Amino acid sequence: MAAFTSSSAVDLRLLPYDIAATKAHAHVLNHAGFLDDDELDAIESVLTRLLDEWQNGDVRDTGSDEDVHSLVERVLTEELGEAGRRIHAGRSRNDLVATDLRLWCRDAATEAADALARFIELLSQLAEQHTDTVMPGYTHLQRAQPVSLGFHLLAHGFALVRDAKRFRAAYESADVSTLGAGALAGTTLDLDPYIATQKLDVTRTFDNAMDAVSDRDFVADLVYACALCGVHLSRLAEEVVLWTSSEFGFARLSDSWSTGSSMMPQKRNPDVAELTRGRAAIVIGDLTALLTVLKGLPLAYNRDLQEDKAIVFRAHDATVGCIEAMTALVASITFDPTTMADAAMSGSTWATDLAEVLVTRGVPFRDAHEMVGRLVADLEGTGAAATASWLASHEGFQPEDVFVLDRREVVSRRGSRGGTAPNRVLEQIEQLRAAINDACMRK
């Protein structure tokens, strides 16, 4: 029974938070007259020493405590006798574990948002360097229109900044103390839960004790933020895999962030990107697991809830690990601007821009689309080189329209809001930096 039900091997990670919550509860009890000042001091100093031991790596799971909360209470009782035996008045492990986990989730969300901020800053710097590096933009994985590498990298940056905002929202949803809820129904003791919120530097206290011990929305919010972030990292990882393949040849992995093959001496494999793609699958599974744990639970506390910790710890560790690894991977990539530009301009990717030239001369777009379509067919049929004179030899086109064949020009003339023109890309970098500054919690 003990081996099957114990959670200490997993939830020992909550020890610093259980110590903080227990100190806060000791203040609540002291204020209400259930612990005298000497007992409060003694409890605080034992807990401070326990935290030191934890930070030195000296607290280990011995398998003899059912969970981290039992461990802390046992230490207090062993060290202090009666004062230790008073600490659990007016509280339950049900309200305690909810507060511990809320405090952990706040730190976890902060860590993830900070890691994202560093990655987004890297993408911004690369975007600044590559406003003129032209590559093909794709739809259906077919070359569609030339874009800049900076523009493309920023598209990933904007997805990741939304993730940082979701982590910030997850922080806010966790930012509640449930101490004082007791097992499910409050307490007959006259305890002030606001003392705990102050001691824990938490913004709010709970409203309904039964909800307080049953609610794991804050865990779901964090795991969802992890899962969607994992999806975004996985899409970027997939592009790294494509770009660094010989088929694309757009970029080269560094030696230190690629792996060799045990058999094929020439290999330079994108394992970090592939593992990021793979781990996103695990985190998506974690979100499903958590929601499934919650969906059938009658109020209030049920032991199923113990499983939430392994889930959220794993989802968070995997996500932060992927953010950090992808940051290092992308930082170490060398791009090949010539191959990218050649690919960008092959296959008449300028056709849409040319049709828009005709629109500026008053041609209805559908007619322009047909005219350019005929031009492209001619090029493909005769194998003619696309030049100014070739262009002007077709009815309705003029020699200066040849700018569409100039890769820099064609990218820089797409100056609409959010477009590919370098000045627009610089504007987007500023927007991205402002957004990450807003979302970031540790300034």
Is the CA virtual torsion 232, 233, 238, 244 positive or negative? positive
Positions in 304-323 near ligand ARG (CB under 6 A): 305-306
The least distance separating ligand ARG from the CB of residue 116, rounded to whole angstroms, comes to 29
What mask of x and - would describe binding to ligand ARG in positions 9 to 48, judged by CB under 6 A? Answer: --x-------------------------------------
User: Among 97, 240, 320, 441, which residue sits at the site for ligand ARG (rule: CB under 6 A)?
Assistant: 97
Reference 107, options 7, 198, 213, 222; nearest CA is: 222
> Per the structure block, which two tokens stand in for 264?
């094929």
Look at residue 145 and give its three-state secondary structure.
Answer: strand
The least distance separating ligand ARG from the CB of residue 82, rounded to whole angstroms, comes to 24
Please choose, out of 168-176, 233-241, 301-309, 405-413, the segment that lies near ligand ARG by the rule CB under 6 A.
301-309
Reference 53, options 87, 104, 16, 78; nearest CA is: 16
User: Among 301, 335, 350, 397, which residue sits at the site for ligand ARG (rule: CB under 6 A)?
Assistant: 301
348 and 140 Cβ atoms separated by less than 8 Å: no
67 binds ligand ARG (CB under 6 A): yes
Helices (H) and strands (E) in the chain, counts: 19, 6
- CA 431 from chain centre, in angstroms, equals 19
148 and 134 Cβ atoms separated by less than 8 Å: yes
Q: Which of 93, 156 has the CB closer to ligand ARG?
A: 93
Q: Which of 305, 411 has the CB closer to ligand ARG?
A: 305
Q: How far apart are CA 215 and CA 194, in angstroms?
A: 19
> Per the structure block, which two tokens stand in for 38?
């000497």
The least distance separating ligand ARG from the CB of residue 12, rounded to whole angstroms, comes to 11
Give the helix ranges, DSSP H, for 130-215. Answer: 149-174, 193-200, 209-214
Among candidate residues 45, 64, 261, 346, the one labeled active-site is 261
What mask of x and - would describe binding to ligand ARG in positions 133 to 172, judged by CB under 6 A? Answer: ----------------------------------------
User: Among 25, 27, 86, 93, which residue sits at the site for ligand ARG (rule: CB under 6 A)?
Assistant: 93
Q: How far apart are CA 83 and CA 26, in angstroms?
A: 10
The least distance separating ligand ARG from the CB of residue 320, rounded to whole angstroms, comes to 22
Helix (H) or strand (E) holding 282: helix 271-295
Q: How far apart are CA 51 and CA 58, in angstroms?
A: 10
The least distance separating ligand ARG from the CB of residue 176, rounded to whole angstroms, comes to 17
43 and 86 Cβ atoms separated by less than 8 Å: no
What letter does residue 267 receive in the DSSP assignment? Answer: -
7 binds ligand ARG (CB under 6 A): yes
Residue count, binding to ligand ARG (CB under 6 A)? 11
Please choose, out of 53-61, 280-288, 299-307, 310-318, the segment that lies near ligand ARG by the rule CB under 6 A.
299-307
The least distance separating ligand ARG from the CB of residue 131, rounded to whole angstroms, comes to 51
406 contact partners, CB below 8 Å, separation of at least 6: none
Answer yes or no: 140 catalytic: yes
99 binds ligand ARG (CB under 6 A): no
Active site residues: 140, 261
User: What residues make contact with ligand ARG under the rule CB under 6 A?
Assistant: 7, 11, 67, 69, 93-94, 97, 301, 303, 305-306
